[in-house]
């Protein structure tokens, strides 16, 4: 079982056997856990913590409804991985790499522009009526884990619903997961 410290409370346990029985196994036994309260993403493999990174979730908080600009909660899978082999800092428009590139080694930007950079992990909700189907479909909402040009704001809720990471961190995560990896997002 994976365990997560949430909001300075005692450990909460997520039963991975129940999770995989209901939603299937992740490739290589990996699982991504996103804590909105902590603004943190953790990667686990076979119940062992591999790494944690700071993230930025939605300015508007959590919520699954289309048009809410909120970060959806619940169980997801990585549906698609986009950007393999592109230059770090590459800007994506409509999931297509452009000629534009932000310098990931430059002083962090404080831009308000919500650029999607370096890599995209496109999420698919697995819970009908919660994050799958109708007005709550995470995939149709284009919910990603992605790099950002606004690295100065990582650790603060500032996104439009996606989960932002630094360019270096999202590339590192991208190289360690596969399509089908389970992603758990909660407050």
**pLDDT over 80 (residue 18):** no
Give yes or no for a contact between 78 and 121, defined as CB atoms under 8 angstroms apart.
yes
Give yes or no for a contact between 6 and 38, defined as CB atoms under 8 angstroms apart.
yes
What are the tokens at 88? 């770090």
92-103 mean pLDDT: 92
Residue-wise pLDDT tens digits, 140-166:
999 999 999 989 899 999 999 999 999
Most confident of 26-35, 110-119, 164-173: 164-173
Q: What pLDDT is stored for residue 6 in this prediction?
A: 37
Residue-wise pLDDT tens digits, 69-94:
999 999 999 999 999 999 999 999 99
**pLDDT over 60 (residue 49):** yes
Q: Can you give the CATH number for the domain in which 124 is found? A: 2.40.440.10
DSSP tag of 173: H
Q: How confident is the model at residue 22 (pLDDT cuts 50, 70, 90)?
A: confident
Domain carrying residue 118: 2-186
Q: What pLDDT is stored for residue 40 in this prediction?
A: 97
Question: How many domains are contained in the chain?
Answer: 1
Q: What pLDDT is stored for residue 109 in this prediction?
A: 54
Task: Write down the mean pLDDT value for the chain.
Answer: 87
Most confident of 8-12, 112-116, 167-171: 167-171
**pLDDT over 80 (residue 35):** yes
How far is 113 from 63, CA to CA, in rounded Å? 22
How far is 17 from 42, CA to CA, in rounded Å? 19
How far is 169 from 146, CA to CA, in rounded Å? 9
**Alpha helices per DSSP H over the chain:** 16-23, 167-174
The proportion of the chain whose per-residue pLDDT surpasses 70, expressed as a percent, equals 83
Taking the whole predicted model, whether its pTM rises above 0.85 is answered as yes
């Amino acid at each position: 079982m994976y365990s997560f410290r949430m909001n300075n409370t005692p450990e909460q346990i997520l039963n991975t056997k129940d999770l995989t029985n209901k939603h299937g196994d992740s490739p290589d036994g990996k699982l991504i856990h996103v804590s909105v309260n902590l603004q943190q993403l953790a990667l686990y493999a076979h119940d062992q913590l591999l790494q944690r990174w700071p993230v930025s979730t939605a300015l508007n908080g959590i919520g699954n409804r289309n048009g809410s600009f909120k970060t959806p909660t619940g169980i997801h899978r990585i549906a698609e991985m986009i950007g393999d082999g592109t230059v770090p800092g590459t800007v994506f428009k409509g999931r297509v790499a452009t000629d534009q590139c932000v310098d990931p080694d430059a002083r962090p930007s404080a831009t308000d522009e919500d650029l999607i950079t370096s890599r995209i992990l496109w999420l698919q909700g697995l819970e009908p009526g919660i994050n799958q189907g109708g007005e709550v479909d995470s995939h149709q909402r284009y919910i990603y884990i992605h790099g950002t040009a606004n690295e100065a704001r990582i650790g603060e809720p500032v996104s439009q619903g996606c989960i932002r990471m630094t360019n270096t961190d999202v590339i590192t995560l991208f190289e360690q997961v596969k399509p089908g990896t389970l992603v758990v997002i909660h407050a």
